[in-house]
Structure 1
């Protein structure tokens, strides 16, 4: 009798261990990914110091940046994967084995300024121009915030929305909000959550709203249904700042 009770207790402990293991693994992967994104950030800013610009995103998954053909659009697209080969990195994966996304700010309207401009223009001048232009630019990269009126995360006017020179995004554990990509996006973006998978206005205008790096994870219970899943979030975002990059580059 005593032996059977011991075996039952051991079985319960083992079962509990297996139920906790995925969560513990994801926590470890989250910390590892945050460290990886920090390393990627250092590589990006090192590239900026050496080349006088940030690299364009990799849009064809060959590990290299995809540059555009005009001053207005120095990059083929403002959003893609991290161009790890141009940064001298072995890969662009997070701790879950997924490719890290990378977006860069460019303004193809009034200023034609970009932090990825390879025409020889002064990156310090472009950084200051874009910083002063703020979020009101086409091809602008925006960091959203929580709206205390609508209780949603977005980049709507009136919120604490800021512009950023670049962002790095890990899709985290899974597609936590169970969403599909918009009609104007590639299906791969469905693995992202919240604003990270959407253009800010739902069109092909390349203005990008990205969730605030401080947004906390929220994983819905599958039993709660799609309504809860829509607000689920497990992405990891790292954003550069104009002031920080200006300081790194020792701009006058």
Structure 2
């Protein structure tokens, strides 16, 4: 009886090695794929946390944090536009934040109203406020008024300026493109410069090639909508000026602070000036009415004098008639008619004087009522000034309220 051999044949070992190799290759391939999926899922969450922290920083400080340029986790202002995320400044003491690349838009200007340094909180917003006239004949003038309030409205104003910057599109000049590239900007997958952005974040991928990665170009970030390709798989968040403005609700706040309140304040100031000028017109009307009374009084006095003269003519006519033994009797009738006419003229002059005095009294009442000197006056002049000052104060308070009101 032959003894049976134990173990595997060469064929069985070969088949087993092939199967094991296939399994090993599958594990490596799918393991790499799984790691990429984990990276693609986890990275946006990390950047979203960083992005939310930046928005919170803006709300509290009215500016963007400066980049971290010495890798200590703290912001370094006044140096480069791009560096690492200042995670300690943002209150994010997390190890997974240390490799995030971060950039902020900085375009300084000596005139605060034209400054777009988003890392600097300054009083940029100067609404047009109309001066309230203090006397008649003074035209209300709208003046850009610095209100010495540094808050989110000033940051929103800078975003509005940034949104008006040129972009690399049809009609853009070489100078426009150069200006874009000198500051924080994004580029498409082909490396073409697109536009400036307010700030940008990127987290490098292990699969990215430093030699071709747009995120390694000075002041540049890859556009977030660029397709993921070999050598360029960083995850990017780039916040356009209009996007962050929308997140902060800047449009409604600026519409209120720069248009609604100042426009109403201007209308009130113009109305105040009109009231002062109208008061002058009322005073002139009163003076004319008083002159009318004097003129009517002179007319009454003249009519009385004429009546007296006519009466004396009657006496003269009677005397002449007696002297002429009736030959001049016709003169008595003429003198009597003249006397009657003079009396009628006196009555008419008296009525004119009464009308002039009534007009004068009415003009005086209007002046008193408008000036607040009447017992039942509504004090229109005083109220117009009070209203104009109150509305102007509300316009100033609108700026002081900032973006959270």
Specify which structure has the higher proportion of helix.
2
User: In 2, Cα distance between the equivalents of 1:34 and 1:243?
Assistant: 21
Residues 130, 56 of structure 1: alpha-carbon distance in 2 compared, 3 angstrom cutoff: same
1:108 equivalent to 2:123? Answer: no
Gaps of 5+ in 2: 1-8, 125-153, 168-175, 254-405
Give the secondary structure class of the aligned counterpart of 1:133.
coil
Distance 2:119 2:48 in 1: 20
Q: Which residue of structure 1 lines up, in the alignment, with residue 156 of structure 2?
A: 124
- Distance in 2 between the 1:125 and 1:3 partners? 77
Partner of residue 241, structure 1: 240
Larger radius of gyration: 2
- Count residues in correspondence: 198
Conservation of the 8 A alpha-carbon contact between 2:121 and 2:155: no
Moved over 6 A (4+): none
Classify the secondary structure of the residue corresponding to 1:237.
strand
**CA displacement 1:141-174 (0-9 Å, x = unmatched):** 222225xxxxx2321xxxxx22210000111114
User: Which deviations, in whole Å up to 9, do the C-alpha atoms of 1:230-250 show, x marking residues without a partner?
Assistant: xx3122211112122112222
Structure 1, unaligned runs of 5 or more: 69-75, 147-151, 156-160, 180-192, 200-207, 220-231
Whether contact under 8 Å (2:205, 2:233) holds in the other structure is yes
Counterpart of 1:38 in structure 2 is 48
Is 1:213 the counterpart of 2:245 in the alignment?
Answer: no
What is the alpha-carbon distance in structure 2 between the residues aligned to residue 218 and residue 88 of structure 1? 34
Kept in 1, the 8 Å contact 2:207–2:232? The answer is no
Residue 26 of structure 1 deviates from its aligned partner by 2.3
- Provide the rounded CA distance (Å) in 2 between the counterparts of 1:44 and 1:31: 21
**1:4-25 CA distances to partner (integer Å, 9 max, x unpaired)?**
4356424421332123322321
1:162-193: per-residue Cα shift (whole Å, max 9, x none)?
2210000111114425x2xxxxxxxxxxxxx4
- Residues 84-99 of structure 1 mapped to structure 2, 5 A cutoff: 84-91=87-94, 93=96, 99=99
Higher relative contact order (CA 8 A, sep 6+): 1
C-alpha separation in 2, matches of 1:153 and 1:61? 27
Alpha-carbon displacement from aligned partner over 1:58-92 (angstroms, at most 9, x marks no partner): 11111111122xxxxxxx21100001111111236
TM-score normalised by structure 1 residue count: 0.69
Contact 1:113 1:126 (C-alpha < 8 Å) held by counterparts? yes
TM (normalized to structure 2)? 0.45
